[in-house]
């Protein structure tokens, strides 16, 4: 699986991976279509790592820093699958950490 290029999810969010290094590291931008932030959504930087496998069904992970419009950070982990027609599909899970004002509010900071 080659993560380089544009990817779009079911909610309309898009990510662009600029290129994957020989060691599996990559960077790019995430263009989210959903947000609870009060500020207008802006493209946000991402950095990640891909486990390069010969079978093309690699695992990967990346972090998105929403610093351009929000006080939160998200991490994604997933795997790329090749379908019978050769199309590559990513399946991911994510965690979002929002900034809270106090330690007592820590319980509600992660989704």
DSSP secondary structure of the chain: ----EEEE-TTS-EEEEEEE-TTSEEEEEEE-S----SSPP--EEEEEEE---TTS--EEEEEEE-TTT-SEEEEEEEEEEE-TTS-EEEEEEEEEEE--SSGGGGGGSB-
Q: Where are the domains of the chain?
A: 5-99
Task: Please tell me the predicted confidence (pLDDT) of residue 86.
Answer: 86
The whole-model pTM stands at 0.87
Q: Say whether domain 5-99 belongs to CATH 2.40.128.30.
A: yes
Q: How large is the average pLDDT for residues 102-110?
A: 94
pLDDT tens per residue across span 56-75: 679 999 999 988 878 899 99
Which pLDDT score is estimated for 69? 79
pLDDT digits (tens, 9 = 90+) for 9-52: 999 999 999 999 999 999 999 998 877 777 777 889 999 999 98
């Amino acid at each position: 699986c080659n993560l380089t290029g544009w990817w779009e999810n079911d909610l309309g969010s898009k990510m662009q991976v600029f290129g994957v290094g020989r060691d599996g590291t990559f960077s790019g931008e995430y263009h989210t279509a959903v947000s609870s932030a009060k500020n207008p959504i802006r493209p946000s930087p991402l950095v990640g790592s891909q486990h390069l496998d010969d079978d093309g069904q690699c695992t990967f992970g990346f972090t998105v820093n929403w610093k351009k419009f929000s006080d939160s950070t998200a991490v994604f982990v997933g795997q790329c699958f090749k379908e019978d027609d050769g199309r590559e599909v990513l399946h991911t899970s994510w965690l979002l950490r929002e900034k809270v004002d106090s330690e007592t509010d820590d319980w509600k900071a992660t989704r």
